[in-house]
Amino acid sequence: MIYLYLLATVLFVFGIKKLTSVKTCQLGNRISELAMLIAVVTTALVMTKISWPIVIAGLLVGGAIGALIAKRTPTTQMPEMVAALNGFGGVSSALVAMAFLLIDDRLKGEASLWSTGVANAVSTPATVVIGMVTLTGSFVAYFKLSGKKLAHPFAGSQRHMAHAVLGLGCIALGAWMVMTGSHTQMTISTILLALVASVLGALLVLPIGGADMPVVVSLLNSYSGVAGAAAGFVIGNPLLIVVGALVGTSGLILTQIMCKAMNRSLSNVLLGGMGEETVAKDAKDYKSIKSAGPEEIAMLLDGASSVIFVPGYGLAVAQAQHVVRELADLLTKRGANVRYAIHPVAGRMPGHMNVLLAESDVPYDQLWEMERINGDFKNTDVVIVVGANDVVNPAAREATGPIAGMPILDVDQARTVVVIKRSLAPGYAGIKNPLFELDNTLMVFLDAKEALEGIVKEVKELK
């Protein structure tokens, strides 16, 4: 069986590696699915007491539910689904640790958890805490991503004090759970630990603004991996330890990449910042806006030799990814060099724009990362910003402000910038965007899909 575990581990590594590229991500998913199937079946074979009908039923029912959710979840709700899956991963690890307390023969009678060894004594309460924090934190993120207005019950120093008290409570309950020799007290302490950790998880995410949700989702993904690795120590499963460590470290690396892309420290994100309910007084105070319609934009594109699309969350909301691909194809046939500029934190989860555009079969070689394409904007005829705001806001170059120092796409350097936006409402940062007032900027005040469909129609009519 150790060879099957090794095979599953290697497949997981290759699967994660393939997920790093848009071209190979689908293959990476398939490889990881195969690895998970091998892992589940092998674990079932290793166990001496097992009900195969339950295992098979779990595989079939769980697989069917997963397939149904995947089929019915629109691209706009992908961030919410990822957040929910992180939560389910965390709570499953916590339940494994709690089940261990019920079935481990070493804990019968008056034996304490400490008597089972340091590894179990540390990993069991840690799994419960991390798993439950991940569960409730992920579902707070889920509701925030869904547009629900959730506020922390405390503010300022009181908020940090509440978090500290709950953290100390988790430590105290964990110590009680480990040291007590009474099975009843162990059960009570475990339940209390799970409840306190659940409250802590929710409160930790509540003050974090919507603009920081991509970082939070990535971090919670890392938490779910750490919880899985800890659960592996609890039940002595090496594969779970390795896979949990892979997920935990990859999620943490991605979190660091996201923070770097926002020029924010992780502590700054976790303590609450950009994207809360604050809006600058001048956020909608614009004086020199030039607006245009689809006909004017089509005429502008008719003479363009280079065009860059900048997708944002508004593109996902409007479900306009297929229309933008159609427009890009029309421009390519007319001889234009068409590309897509992808900012690391555009959208509401890591890689959101890549997933969105992959759904409409945008050629992989047209997807350019921020660092690679930023130097080309000054040589670009037309940039079309679709539903993005903060990631193209020149205010990031200023010394102060919510997004000061944040790396942005330098779209303002293009000859002409077309911004498709329903209104002049601010982005998550809640500040004014000077891009809208520049001489080379044209605003199209329409829903993204409606605007793009209009432009496509006009381009087709041009001789």
Q: How far apart are CA 377 and CA 340, in angstroms?
A: 11
CA distances from 172 to 15, 22, 165, 200, 264 (A): 40, 46, 10, 14, 33
Going by their DSSP bridges, the two strands 367-369 and 337-342 should be labelled as: parallel
Answer yes or no: are the C-beta atoms of 305 and 381 closer than 8 Å. yes
DSSP 3-35: HHHHHHHHHHHHHHHHTTSTTTHHHHHHHHHHH
80 and 321 Cβ atoms separated by less than 8 Å: no
Distance of CA 65 to the CA centre of its chain: 21
Residue with tokens 């897509």: 340
105 noted as active-site residue: no
Q: How many CB atoms lie within 10 A of CB 439?
A: 7
Q: Which residue has the tokens 């919410």?
A: 80
DSSP string of 154-198, one letter each residue: S-HHHHHHHHHHHHHHHHHHHHHHHH---HHHHHHHHHHHHHHHH
CA distance 211 to 366: 26
What is the rounded radius of gyration, in angstroms, for the C-alpha atoms of the chain? 25
Longest dimension (CA), the chain: 87
Positive or negative CA dihedral for 252, 254, 256, 258?
negative
End-to-end CA distance of the chain: 68
- DSSP label of 444: E
Under a CB-based contact definition with an 8 Å cutoff, are residues 167 and 133 in contact? Answer: no
How many Å separate Cα 19 from the centre of its chain?
Answer: 14
CA 375 to chain centre: 27
Give the active site residue among 390, 412, 439, 447.
390
Taking the CA atoms of 456, 461, 462 and 463 in sequence, report the sign of the dihedral they define: positive
Residues designated catalytic:
390
